[in-house]
Amino acid sequence: MSLSLYYLIKEPKVRKDKNPLLLLLHGYGSNEEDLFSFAGELPEDYFIVSARAPFDLSYGSYAWYAINFDADENKFSDIGQARASRDIIAGFIDELAANYPIDAEDVTLIGFSQGCILSYAVALSYPEKVRRVVAMSGYWNPEIAVDDYLENDFSRLKIFASHGTVDQVIPVEWARKSIPMLQVLGIDIVFKEYLVGHGVAPQNFFDFKHWLQNT
Q: Tell me the domain boundaries of the chain.
A: 7-213
Whether the Cβ atoms of residue 102 and residue 138 lie closer than 8 Å to each other: no
Specify the pLDDT at position 38: 87
Q: How far is CA 114 from CA 3, 15, 120, 136, 210, in A?
A: 21, 32, 10, 9, 23
% of the chain residues with pLDDT over 70 = 96
Residues of the chain with pLDDT under 70: 1, 69-75
Quick one: DSSP state of residue 43? Answer: -
Whether the Cβ atoms of residue 92 and residue 5 lie closer than 8 Å to each other: yes
**Helix (H), strand (E), coil (C) string for 161-214:** EEEECCCCCCCHHHHHHHHHHHHCCCCEEEEEEECCCCCCCHHHHHHHHHHHHC
Give the separation between CA 158 and CA 173, rounded to whole angstroms: 21
* 34 membership: H or E segment, kind and range: helix 33-36
Give the separation between CA 77 and CA 97, rounded to whole angstroms: 30
Quick one: DSSP state of residue 86? Answer: H
* Residues forming beta bridges with residue 193, ordered by sequence position: 163
pLDDT tens per residue across span 93-143: 999 999 999 999 999 999 999 999 999 999 999 999 999 999 999 999 999
Specify the pLDDT at position 148: 97
CATH topology of domain 7-213: Rossmann fold (3.40.50)
Of residues 71, 72, 80, 95, the one with CA closest to residue 3: 95
Averaged pLDDT of the chain? 93
pTM for the full predicted model = 0.95
Whether the Cβ atoms of residue 42 and residue 48 lie closer than 8 Å to each other: yes
Quick one: DSSP state of residue 5? Answer: S
Specify the pLDDT at position 70: 57
Residue 108 amino acid letter: T
